[in-house]
């Protein structure tokens, strides 16, 4: 009788598949200062990181501002939406 080798699931691959991204989209309503302030307060960015994300969002139309599980991203998503920023989780 031969035994079939079972391959354990790749835990790292599963973690990577579970990771989502919080994406900030450009709008013509909010100021740079407001977006930067929100990124610092909600996403725990430092000033330089928040400024860079604001500029990338302005020029490219969107920027990934945080990554993690959907459960981790829901609170910042909700808060940024409450602050009238356009964000999505992908």
Per-residue pLDDT tens digits for 29-48: 999 999 999 999 999 999 99
Tokens of 45: 């960015």
- Six-digit token pair at 33? 């200062």
DSSP assignment of 29-84 equals SS-HHHHHHHHHHHH---HHHHHHHHHHHHHHSEEEEEEE-HHHHHHHHHHHHHTT
Q: In terms of DSSP bridges, do strands 20-25 and 62-68 run parallel, antiparallel, or are they unpaired?
A: antiparallel
Domains and CATH numbers, the chain: 20-89 (3.30.1390.10)
User: How many Cβ atoms sit within 10 Å of the Cβ of residue 89?
Assistant: 15
pLDDT bin (cut points 50, 70, 90) of residue 8 is low
User: pTM, whole model, 2 decimals?
Assistant: 0.80
Per residue in 37-83, pLDDT (tens digit) is 999 999 999 999 999 999 999 999 999 999 999 999 999 999 999 99
């Amino acid at each position: 009788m031969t035994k079939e080798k079972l391959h354990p699931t790749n835990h790292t691959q599963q973690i990577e598949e579970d990771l989502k991204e919080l994406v900030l989209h450009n709008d013509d309503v909010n100021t740079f200062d407001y977006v930067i302030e929100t990124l610092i307060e909600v996403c725990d960015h430092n000033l330089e990181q928040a400024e860079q994300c604001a500029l990338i969002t302005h020029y490219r139309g969107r920027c990934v501002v945080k990554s993690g599980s959907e459960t981790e991203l829901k609170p910042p998503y909700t808060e940024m939406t409450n602050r009238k920023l356009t964000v999505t989780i992908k």
